[in-house]
Amino acid sequence: MYATLDFVYFETSSTTMIYAMYELDVNQDDQENLREEIRNVLEKHDNNIIYEAVMEMTFLDKIINIPQKSGHETLRLHPPIAGTQRISNKPYPVPGTNFVLEPVIKMDPQKYPDPERFNPERFSEEKRLKDHLQRSYHLEMVRGHAYCIGQRFGVMRSKVGLIRMIKNFRVTLNGKTKTPIEEDPMTNLTSVKGGVWLNVARIENDVEVVRMADTINTIWGLLTIFLGICIYILWFFRKSFNYWKHRGVDFLEPTIPFGNAADLYMKRCTFGELFSNFYLQLKERGCKHGGAYFFWKPVYIPVDPDIIKKILISDFENFPNHGLYISEKNDPLSGHIFNMEGAKWRNFRAKMPANFTTAKMRKMFLIMERLTKQFNRNLKGLAESGVAFDIKNETTRFTTDVITACAFGTESNTMQNKNEELLKEGRYFFDYQWNLYKNTAVMMVPRKILQMLKFRIMPKSLEKFFMGMCRTIVDYRKNKDIQRGDITDSLMRLMEKDQHEHDFSGKYAMEPLNFGEFSAQMLVFFAAGFETSSSTQSFAVYELARNRECQAKLREEINRVLEKHGNNVTYDAVMEMKYLENVIDETLRLYPVFPILPRHCLNDYKVPGTDFTLEKDTLVMITNMGIQRDPEYYPNPDQFDPERFSDEYRSARPFVSHVPFGEGPRICVGKRFGLLQTNLGLITMVRNYDIYLNEEKTTPGFKFEPKELILRKTGNIWVNLRRISS
């Protein structure tokens, strides 16, 4: 692209540049020589125009330079100031005149052969010394005490401008420039009459070369940084991956960067399956315990049942916490009993069993039994329609209505397709509390840093919805003076400063719950109450539909026991159904809703039966899913067989071989409630309906959702019902 430029020159530097470009246009060889020098020098300086680079350009010096050094050809031919004047400040006889006309000196053929020709080589070091050029020959910036004080600045400015121009553009004369040039007699400074008009063409290839060089340099710089980071990461992981080796503990060979968790993040397994596989691999090697790596973090995996029992029960004092994220200030709903730690957890946990005594369970049973009637009506409609349906959807609605009625004293009516928002928000608890990626951050990043960053497990929308619902419940009960003796009453009492409420030691008054802590407990009871029971019922239905002899046997027991109780479903009748208990235990063996039992090592701990000391703050992962699929305890472990839990087989296994609700002081506080509503749901279904798995709509095989920490089947479990006549 060509552009015609009219150079407006109003000072010496621009005038010098104009004449230099004019001469370089007329003398294209000199222009190319200058361009080549500029590129070569700048390449040595990473294509940056810096002071040192300009000082290295010797050919440029011959075109423009400071006179004291060597003079230069442009100002020899075209000095911006044509003459030098002096005024005597006292009488002084001066021969001739005090006016010196510079062109006369600079155009003197004795001093400059062929003076009108532009020849930068006149000012080469060799030529200058050979011809003995005198300093007075070159007076463009004046000598003596009155020399131009800004000459260095002016020359540098002209040089940089010329470098920029010649480096990237090819300069040629435009036809509007009159040649040969004539100086304008009407100006004090030397200037060209009619101006110097040039054509300027961008040198695309050269620019691309420079750009490519810049790009290559940038790429090399980035590659160097990247390589440095990679080397550091490699060193860090190799150092971290020596943890178990240096302590003499058998471990699973890790890989960078996931450690032993690659299958989890490649979505080839769930969190529970991952640690179950670790357990089974270590068990196959004959290890009593072992180590694995979650990314770079070491994880201790006990295998021997005696070690597991010690951690869960006997030596619980050293493993009291789950080590999960809690921040009551930034994330109030994270402060629930499952995440609570220390004295606060002990105090609160000590108050909870009173809500699940046999007397309380009998009272809640009446509410549950009433709600099974609506559950049965829904199932009847589905059976009569003949359509396949998602069993998890129906059991979730049943357990949601049960937990809200029993724990909160409210009617949610989700079985009548009302209050859909409650179902959605309740589901969010598990989506966020047990989100894989959030819990990865919890495992890998120190809690104080997460709290400083105001990290949240629960979304603001859930917090707003659930705390609003809790406020409504509390205000209603206070205004109406309602006391139902349920979980809500217990929690409300713990919010009040009451001298009769003591801590777990019984010696000191218990610190009351704030409203955020109250809401967090209400949330966890609600979410755990509907999700775990509905999942267990769904998994049980799946297995009973596939194992029809087990379904028939369970139905026979239900009818036989109920016949003894006048065909009424009573609390005592349910407690008599041993095969039903076996079915649920076998379901929980195969599908523990919480497949891992994390523990945080509080102090250094000498592992019993070994020479190994577990360091403080080490993460311990007890995998109930792995234990419950151990072929030593459960031959043919993938087969559904409720007979495994007959008294004979049960007593032959270690105590901790079946821990779907955990064990020890941290055992699930709502275990009895969850099992009771699960029993009632299954009784309602199996007693009244023949259950068939819909093979067409149910995903073949059985795989769990890999992105979730709790066990949930990929796809839905679709069933058909056929009503059994009385």
Binding-site residues for heme: 668
Distance, CA of 1 to CA of 384 (rounded, Å): 82
Distance, CA of 375 to CA of 685 (rounded, Å): 9
CB atoms closer than 10 angstroms to residue 631: 12
Distance, CA of 296 to CA of 34 (rounded, Å): 58
The helix (H) or strand (E) run that includes residue 1 is: none
Report which of 465, 442, 238 is spatially closest to residue 332, judged by C-alpha positions: 465
Output the CA–CA distances (angstroms, integers) from residue 49 to 45, 63, 578, in the order listed: 8, 18, 89
In 489-628, DSSP assigns E strands to 597-600, 605-606, 613-614, 619-622
Distance, CA of 39 to CA of 45 (rounded, Å): 10
CB atoms closer than 10 angstroms to residue 582: 23
* Cis, bond preceding 257 (omega within 30 deg of 0): yes
Q: Which amino acid is at 430?
A: F
Distance, CA of 550 to CA of 54 (rounded, Å): 93
* The two three-digit tokens of residue 469, written as one number: 């619902």
The helix (H) or strand (E) run that includes residue 718 is: strand 718-723
**CA 131 remoteness from chain centre:** 74
Sort strands 197-202 and 2-6 into parallel, antiparallel or unpaired: antiparallel
Distance, CA of 335 to CA of 345 (rounded, Å): 10
Bin 531: left if φ > 0, else alpha if -120 < ψ < 50, else beta.
alpha
**CA 10 remoteness from chain centre:** 60
Q: What is the DSSP string of 163-229?
A: HHHHHHEEEEE-TTS-SS--B-TT-SS--BTT--EEEEEE-HHHHHHHHHHHHHHHHHHHHHHHHHH
Q: CB–CB of 592/625 below 8 Å?
A: yes
Distance, CA of 641 to CA of 656 (rounded, Å): 19
- Residues in the annotated binding site: 668
